[in-house]
Amino acid sequence: MEEQVQIWWANLRHFDSHVPELQSVLSVLEQAKAGRFQFLRDRNHYIIRHGLLRMLLGHYAGKSPSSLRFATGTYGKPELQDATGERRIHFNISHSEDVALYGISRACPVGVDVEYVRTFPDYERVAQEFFSRAECRSLKATREEVRTQRFFELWTRKEALLKATGEGLGDGPAGRSDSLLEPGVPGCTDLPQTFGVSGDWQVRSFSPVEGYIAAVAFGKANVDFICRAVPAATFLEIKTGFQHQ
């Protein structure tokens, strides 16, 4: 995966029967946080999302999932401890409703975002607050019957880029820039210097599963982009099914 950005997506409902096993690889802090959720569905989804993240990262790092330790990088972006240089694994996670999305790469920083497409009556107000002028113009020019879809395309692209750089949506200069993030266009090289990053940024849109829109952003040109589902037939496949990918 040296010159790849690998995307994994999971339908969380497919892992309901594996909650005990996935909970067992979580840290004490993660298990405590899971226990604070009021509703069982939210608790289980948290356990599954973070358990699968540990499974995936443990595979790439060649370590036990439960042994992984996380640190907080610039702007609060999670990182693996003691992973630098060529051994560094960049990763990002997003979720919406029943779908979790993971971006993992050794080649460059990566950010992902996924959204369930739903009726959203306040999208124009949200766009005015968070989108650039060019993005607002693009949204307004879209046919009304597909405008909600366009909103989520623009939202996920912007969120993925800002998560790749470590900044949250609306918190940094890119949230107020006059850019238009189109899919597959390396037009994001003029990021403000305050991002502290450089490179040929790519932003690509895709749909991991029907009803959802996602985007991935990564900071390097000529990198392969691969998307696949996390195997869910049995828990044994979760632990061993990545060896031959």
- Does residue 26 lie within any of the structural domains? yes
Q: Is residue 245, in this structure, part of any structural domain at all? A: no
- Which domain covers residue 183, as residue numbers? 4-240
CATH code assigned at 236: 3.90.470.20
CB contact burial 175-197 (16+ within 10 A = b; e otherwise):
bebebbbeeeeeebeebeeebeb
What confidence tier does 221 reach under pLDDT thresholds 50, 70, 90? confident
pLDDT the model gives residue 172: 45
Number of domains the chain is built from = 1
pLDDT tens, position by position, 183-208: 544 444 444 443 445 557 788 899 99
Global pTM value: 0.87
- Note the Cα 218 to chain centre separation in Å: 11
Token code pair at residue 214: 């996602």
131-188 pLDDT, tens per residue? Answer: 888 888 889 999 988 999 999 999 999 899 889 887 654 444 444 455 665 554 444 4
Distances (CA, A) of 204 to 48, 64, 160, 219: 26, 32, 9, 12
Cβ(80)–Cβ(70) below 8 Å? yes
Start-to-end C-alpha separation, the chain: 10
